[in-house]
Amino acid sequence: MWIADSWKDYEVLDASGGEKLERWGDYILVRPDPQVIWSTPRTHRGWEHKNGHYHRSARGGGEWEFFGLPKEWSIGWGSLTFRLKPFSFKHTGLFPEQAVNWEWFSGLIRQAGRPVKVLNLFAYTGGATLSAAAAGAAVTHVDASKGMVTWARENAAASGLGQAPIRWLVDDCVKFVEREIRRGNTYDGIIMDPPSYGRGPKGEVWKLEESLFPFLELTARLLSRDPLFFLINSYTTGLQPAVLSYLMGCVLTPRLGGRTEAAEIGLPVTASGLVLPCGASGRWQR
């Protein structure tokens, strides 16, 4: 497992009974987590002194209950600053477990010793974009949500990267990749965090199990002649890391050589010393 253990402003304090207790800077949140199928005594004081609690509804979705939580606050990771706010579907605007991947590809960018172009697809609020830009890459950030792209740009400004070479694009990722191929553009590194399910601008259905392999084949055509890396993240329940490794091994390794590996990504739990699994990532590098 690849563990995101370099945080100072974030930690999973405890996990029990379908929920995790998290510290986000100065604030304590309780959020549901489908991986937490065990129930242990909730002895950590944070359970009783939380600032926000997302209650899952039996009918689907849920709602927040707040106890002195501001509408917005910030936390830092290295030189980066991320603005946070609770919104529907329990999220805060950041997936802290991804820091283990940020460290990985940032090291490759810094070691390259040459200009590096990175494409970040389904880019959300820009954690990977800012990490790549801080490492020296020119980044193209693509997400279909205008609100998420605006949020990412605000994170860039807060991190001192407002003038960094980042292209901010509100676009359907599949359509964008198709156009980039026609334009003849290429990238040295590609990051994608595709959803389990979604719909395109004309009602096209995206199901990860059916769409990921052809999209990987398509997107691989955007790699430069001397690429550095390719990263795929998945939060789809039941999709094993080995599946990502196999996909990349089928598409990337035969044409480019290099090395493919995949693993669960996780966050350490302070109370138990164990690691909470948080999805899977597949990595290819030259």
* 265 and 177 inside one domain: yes
How many angstroms separate the CA atoms of 65 and 147, rounded? 23
Which domain, by its residues, includes 130? 96-285
Q: State which residues of the chain have pLDDT below 70.
A: 200-202
Query: How do residues 34-43 score in pLDDT, each as one tens digit?
Result: 999 999 999 9
Domain count, the chain: 2
Q: How many CB atoms lie within 10 A of CB 139?
A: 30
* 132 and 254 inside one domain: yes
Asked if residue 90 belongs to a domain, the reply is: no
The pLDDT score that the predictor gives to residue 65 is 97
- Which domain CATH number covers 19? 2.60.40.1180
- Which domain CATH number covers 213? 3.40.50.150
Task: List C-alpha distances in Å: 233 to 37, 122, 191, 194, 229.
Answer: 23, 10, 8, 7, 13
Q: How many CB atoms lie within 10 A of CB 157?
A: 13
Query: How do residues 84-102 score in pLDDT, each as one tens digit?
Result: 999 888 999 999 999 999 9
The pLDDT score that the predictor gives to residue 201 is 64
Residue 143 and residue 122 in contact, taking contact as beta carbons nearer than 8 Å: yes
How many angstroms separate the CA atoms of 245 and 165, rounded? 31
